Structure 1
Amino acid sequence: MAEIRVQSAPFAYGQEADLFAEGAEGAGAIVTFAGIVRPDHGLSAMEIEHYPGMTERALSAIAEDAEARWQLSGVLVIHRFGRLAPGERIMMVATAAAHRRAAFEAADFLMDYLKSRAPFWKKELRQDGADWVAAKASDEDALSRW
């Protein structure tokens, strides 16, 4: 069963990866990924909003889809919300499977979903103002391969 966490608090990537690996009994492969607020020029912070309850349900549904498609033995999705500074971790995905290809593909699928369809709204804060982050065609293209 997938573990989904939507939280404002930072997380310790190495610790989360270790805990996930310890619980991934029978797995032959584990893939982890962390997304980080890019230190773009002029970006002072990013604000991420979501609707509690709806977000967790949507992430659980896509994690269950990944588990079924790739016969995963474990899934972890952590996504933060609130005000994040450049260099801070936004999210983490971990997948466990019998074989590496399944673990990699499932992690890639989950990351594509989080980037394009997960119910989060992101605003970039700069010294000269703030802008909501718009959907990118490249993100939709990446998701369409699944």
Structure 2
Amino acid sequence: MNELDHFDISILKILQKNNLTPQRDIGDSIGLSAAAVQRRIKRMRETEVIKADVSVIDTEKLSHSVTLIVEVFLERDKIHLIDEAQALFTSAPEVQQCYYVTGESDFVLIIFVPSMKEYEILTRRIFYSNENIKHFRTLVTMNTVKSGLDIPLDLLL
């Protein structure tokens, strides 16, 4: 994909705040026609700069929900075992985010479940049943202080 120019960055900044913003409004605010904005958005979707158009749900508004941060430590770090762990984590719908990281742990997962009982079931399914997982450490969130999806695009300019 070509480098993003300042128009692309401006479009992305607006879409990050509200992806339902009409293209003519985006164009008016950045000095492009609605058709040019539409072409740019289409290109960024096709090249997966824009990966998805979603609604962000406030988990605190949902009753009976628990968000957990889990560090996973592998027994062995062979590439095929890392790939297997990634496939396992990404196939679990409860795993909202998965990061392969440096440091003591191998992965950091953000997990959303309706209850701790459901988390126990999940741990049996994806952690205890996998011989390559040495151990895992769970942090239970008490309060979401900040949760954002906006990428600080001004840093790219």
TM-score by length of 1: 0.34
Bigger relative contact order, structure 1 or 2 (CA pairs below 8 A, ≥6 apart): 1
Higher Cα Rg: structure 1 or 2? 2
Of Structure 1 and Structure 2, the greater strand share is in: 1
